[in-house]
Structure 1
Amino acid sequence: MNKKAVGALAAAAAAVLALSACGSGGEASGASGDQAKGEISYWLWDSNQLPAYQQCADDFHTANPDITVKITQRGWDDYWSTLTNGFVAGTAPDVFTDHLAKYPEFAKTGQLLALDDAVANDHVDLTQYNKGLADLWVGEDGKRYGLPKDWDTISLFYNKKLAAGAGISDEQMKTLTWNPQDGGTYEKAIAHLTVDKNGKRGDEPGFDKTKVEVYGLGLNSSGSGQGQTEWSYLTGTTGWTHTDKNPWGTHFNYDDPKFQESIAWFAGLAEKGYMPKLETTVGASMADTFAAGKSVINAHGSWMIGQYTGYKGVDVGIAPTPTGPDGKRSSMFNGLADSVWAGTKKPAAAVKFAEYLGSAACQDVVASKAVVFPAIKSSSDKAEAAFKAKGVDVTPFTQQVKESTTFLFPIADKAAKVDGIMKPAMDAVVSGKQPASSLSQANDQVNSLFNK
């Protein structure tokens, strides 16, 4: 799942806000009946998952010969712009992969079919999913707008050869600590892994931060207001939370000193030369930079396991996120779902396929491909075994869930407007143009959205 561009959702979501007269919403009554036939369309953005879902579509057609599923895969940015344009033109897919940062506004503007009646009539077992995932897709109006498909957490991918060459062992990588004052052993490792063009390390005299050859830590983006892969695994260990409650918070906490201290530390890595400058990440792939040996540690999501471990010639290790001031690790817990477009001409067939995508029959197929962790608990265990069979130890990702050190992706109304404020504000801080204290003003602007 490409989270680098979560901020790109803002533009697409803004377009959706103008669509409230174009979609009426509705309630799906069930997947059975004579109307469950014909060709339906299904969209997803992750090319790595396309083979698994094509098999699901083929298996579904075999079991339901009157229904054919046509799958379209688009890149992340193109996916959302085409989807929102499709809402306007009436050409949106019948079923599509949905995101927590997106669905609240889709639901609010009547673009999603509520699935409550179908779930009840077709006896869909919501307890089969990992704890909390099903609840994420119940909107502010109390209606269900998606069935969980997968989940993800954050860990540290690292180049084992470069780490070993710097004298940092796998055991040390597994036991890193962090605090916002001096960065703990996490910053010490990052500094030592950074190397300039003359071979000087970041913690050695004479290090030239203007001519870095290898960065200790890669940079994806500023993280906007979520910081899923960038900094949330750190701020989550300080007692800080994005909002007053989750989901559907109405007061944001970007003015909290704990948050600003953490972000100041994060932005300081670039200033010290240990992490790339924000402007150099535009149009770049953090994972590809890692593969080229230009960064040693990348904090990234479990949806990227296949890509990182698939690079030839790179011995990749996976370490858990650092232990923070609270004595625990932390990771944002995100989960995608499949939603049904309210404008579908074949609601019975669309709902039936959405229910199949949310079933063990499909999620076991996804698990077997060892790409992501399916939402269903038993399928998730099978995915872990499939990764192990490939020689990949995914414990750093799964232990966050098993040890209950996760927190939910922040879900709130007006996400596009919040992102429209927080992305440039965070960009300014991480690029060094503004101090972390400037986030208090941005926070006031965000909270004013909910006080009108």
Structure 2
Amino acid sequence: MKKALGAVAVAAAAAIALSACTGSGSSNQAAAGGDAKGDISYWLWDANQLPAYQQCADDFHKANPNINVKITQTGWDDYWTNITNGFVAGNGPDVFTDHLSKFGDFVKNNQILALDDAVKTDNVDLNQYQKGLADLWVGKDGKRYGLPKDWDTISLFYNKDMISKAGLSADQMGSLAWNPQDGGSFEKAIAHLTVDKNGKHGDEAGFDKNNVAVYGLGLAGSGSGNGQTEWSWLTGTTGWTHTDKNPWGTKYNYDDKKFQDTIAWFHSVIDKGYMPKLETTVGASMSDTFAAGKAAINANGSWMIGQYFGYKGINVGLAPTPTGPDGKRASMFNGLADSINAATKNPAAATKWVEYLASPACQDVVASKAVVFPAVSEATDRAAAAFKAKGVDVGSFTQQVKDNTTFLFPITENAAKVDGIMKPAMDAVFSGKSPAGSLTDANSQVNALFQ
């Protein structure tokens, strides 16, 4: 739902207050840290963050020599498959990096532990985090199932050399505007930045859309039902919201004209040859394609800063997402947390590790690596300084929070089932097999899950 970060916290708190008496999630509570000992496993999906968390694990072991933490990192898709299979087989991790789109179903299925007793007993300060983050991890039952680890927003990564060669300035990149009718100055920019194999730009006569050498805008995929990096930063400027309320909405809005008009425009950019065809993105990395010089602009999340600025031979710039019909920018606001497997055989050690992950001691380490923005407010400032020391101005990400132009990642139950319906439906639209209007039928199927 498009709202200020502060408003997100208010809405989350309101939803929590209303649901505290009616929810029926897991009654299992994590054990307070106490005299914990033994071996625990910790899973995460982001390879870029692995070095920071390995250092946290090493530091944690030094302070708690009776606890050993083994970290396993796998890619996003395999990660969630392994988590699901592990829960079923009883051999999942003790602690894992959790996602807002997933934890509702985990709570519903009694697969993760509530942390309220441990937070109270061990005096975890929930006010140390960026405003609203801690509230996101409270389920419909009013119980807390994760402690915040980081947050993210979306910006435009662009190839400075391509931008300069096309006659565009950094100031122009920072003041792009978009609308679903003709795409505004944003479409004009990506059209001009698109170049075919004969050197013709997308806005020139004779441009061959079937033989493109450089696309103005990269594509990661259709975005399924949330479109975090694909299109949510556009739909968020139209007044459209994913659900009727957030968190814990029970009605999705994929049948809304504002949403369908945005998606129709997005497909038109593919059809015009300014963005890759959907089928070419299968098995490909959008950031690697950018690094290969095949795209001028990528919309992506702050967790990818290190990846983009780590490529050799590419002069990378950052710009905020374009303003939309409402005259404002928009970015989905997402925050990860660490949760405890309800089947852990060592809840005391798992709890102590989760509390350490959420502490300044670990999050300052994460900040120093300049990879993501940690949840602890002071650590966020440290991260911004660490990025600056590397020559990266992250203002396009942090400004969304300061300007109150963020909206929350849709938090609902049935997330996996929603994805199962929306991914093929969105793929069909992006590939040109179905019109945007077909999403009305998909929306009916989604909403039937909540009846």
Q: Look up the SS of the partner of 2:412 in the other structure.
A: coil
**Does the 8 Å CA contact 1:38/1:66 hold for their aligned counterparts?**
yes
Partner of 2:265: 265
1:28 aligns with 2:30: yes
Amino acid at match of 1:203: D
Partner of 1:352: 352
CA–CA separation in structure 2 for the residues paired with 1:24 and 1:392: 43
Q: Look up the SS of the partner of 1:155 in the other structure.
A: strand
**Does the 8 Å CA contact 1:40/1:67 hold for their aligned counterparts?**
yes
Residue pairs, 1:180-329, within 5 angstroms: 180-329=180-329
Partner of 1:157: 157
Partner of 1:398: 398
- Provide TM-score, normalisation by structure 1: 0.93
Partner of 1:79: 79
CA–CA separation in structure 2 for the residues paired with 1:302 and 1:373: 8
1:423 aligns with 2:449: no
Partner of 1:343: 343
Q: Which runs of 5+ in 1 are unaligned?
A: 1-22
CA–CA separation in structure 1 for the residues paired with 2:90 and 2:442: 36
Partner of 1:14: none
Partner of 1:385: 385
Amino acid at match of 1:206: G
- 4+ long deviations beyond 2 Å: none
Provide Cα deviations, 1:296-326, integer angstroms capped at 9, x if missing partner.
0000000000000010000000000001111
Residue pairs, 1:86-105, within 5 angstroms: 86-105=86-105
Amino acid at match of 2:100: L
Partner of 1:4: none
Q: State the Cα distance separating 1:29 from its structure 2 match.
A: 3.8
CA–CA separation in structure 2 for the residues paired with 1:67 and 1:432: 54
Q: State the Cα distance separating 1:24 from its structure 2 match.
A: 7.0
CA–CA separation in structure 2 for the residues paired with 1:159 and 1:204: 21
CA–CA separation in structure 2 for the residues paired with 1:66 and 1:274: 57
Q: State the Cα distance separating 1:88 from its structure 2 match.
A: 1.9
Amino acid at match of 1:258: K
CA–CA separation in structure 1 for the residues paired with 2:96 and 2:280: 33
Residue pairs, 1:110-149, within 5 angstroms: 110-149=110-149
Provide Cα deviations, 1:29-58, integer angstroms capped at 9, x if missing partner.
4111x3x10111111111111111111111
Amino acid at match of 1:420: G
CA–CA separation in structure 2 for the residues paired with 1:135 and 1:223: 26
Amino acid at match of 1:123: N
CA–CA separation in structure 2 for the residues paired with 1:46 and 1:418: 24
Partner of 2:42: 42
Q: Which runs of 5+ in 2 are unaligned?
A: 1-24
Amino acid at match of 1:74: T
CA–CA separation in structure 1 for the residues paired with 2:442 and 2:76: 27
Q: Look up the SS of the partner of 2:246 in the other structure.
A: coil
Amino acid at match of 2:28: G
Amino acid at match of 2:208: D
**Does the 8 Å CA contact 2:33/2:349 hold for their aligned counterparts?**
yes
Amino acid at match of 2:135: D
Amino acid at match of 1:149: K
Q: Look up the SS of the partner of 1:345 in the other structure.
A: coil
Q: CA RMSD in A?
A: 1.1
Q: State the Cα distance separating 1:182 from its structure 2 match.
A: 0.7
Amino acid at match of 1:30: A
**Does the 8 Å CA contact 1:29/1:121 hold for their aligned counterparts?**
no
CA–CA separation in structure 2 for the residues paired with 1:292 and 1:171: 25
Q: Give the count of matched residue pairs.
A: 427
**Does the 8 Å CA contact 1:233/1:329 hold for their aligned counterparts?**
yes
Amino acid at match of 2:416: A
Amino acid at match of 2:291: A
**Does the 8 Å CA contact 1:25/1:342 hold for their aligned counterparts?**
no
CA–CA separation in structure 2 for the residues paired with 1:44 and 1:79: 8
Provide Cα deviations, 1:327-380, integer angstroms capped at 9, x if missing partner.
111000001100011111111110011000000110000000000000111100
CA–CA separation in structure 1 for the residues paired with 2:314 and 2:391: 14
**Does the 8 Å CA contact 2:222/2:278 hold for their aligned counterparts?**
yes
**Does the 8 Å CA contact 1:160/1:317 hold for their aligned counterparts?**
yes
**What percentage of aligned pairs have identical amino acids?**
76
**Does the 8 Å CA contact 1:387/1:393 hold for their aligned counterparts?**
yes
Amino acid at match of 1:31: G
**Does the 8 Å CA contact 1:25/1:107 hold for their aligned counterparts?**
no
**Does the 8 Å CA contact 2:330/2:405 hold for their aligned counterparts?**
yes
Q: State the Cα distance separating 1:25 from its structure 2 match.
A: 6.0
- Provide TM-score, normalisation by structure 2: 0.93
Q: Look up the SS of the partner of 2:163 in the other structure.
A: helix
CA–CA separation in structure 1 for the residues paired with 2:104 and 2:241: 20
Greater Cα shift, 99-108 or 270-279: 99-108
Amino acid at match of 2:277: K
Partner of 2:52: 52
